[in-house]
Structure 1
């Protein structure tokens, strides 16, 4: 078994209200920054063991579908590499 490091970024799908992003955007504009848009994302850093990179990627995607992301409102991006 090998050790892998995964990075999962979860963001709201277009059309869903990002209230935290909107609040931050307003606050930055109130501080005289010329901000056009702010969006938020959650990042998960996961270390796991698997027999191959493909298996590690498959397991991470399964984790996203079952727990880390809500398929109704979230998009996610996965990056997996062999840990050093």
Structure 2
């Protein structure tokens, strides 16, 4: 069965995020007041699996091995049936 996978990757709390700081400063220069700016990378793809749990486990392994660095990143996985 095919599933849609979405992985949201962000830096763990306490990690420096120069990209977010730059965005926050630029918005301030444009007279927008924002606080707690964060950046999140979203990766979407289709994956085959016997069931939703297997698909989730495979995506989790992908995250740990390639898609992010578990030492500095947090990630959230969402799995949905492709036709649902």
TM-score range, shorter chain: over 0.9
Residue 70 of structure 1 corresponds to 69
Superposed counterparts of 1:29-48, under 5 Å: 29-48=28-47
Q: Unaligned 5+ residue runs, structure 2?
A: none
Structure 1, unmatched stretches of 5+, are none
TM-score normalised to the size of structure 1?
A: 0.95
2:59 alignment counterpart: 60
d(CA) in 2 for partners of 1:18, 1:41: 11
Q: CA RMSD in A?
A: 0.6
Instruction: Tell me which stretches of 4 or more aligned residues in structure 1 moved more than 4 Å.
Output: none
CA distance in 2, matches of 1:52, 1:36: 40
Mapping 1:21-32, distance limit 5 Å: 21-32=20-31
Q: Report deviation, 1:59.
A: 0.3
TM-score between both structures, scaled by the size of structure 2: 0.95
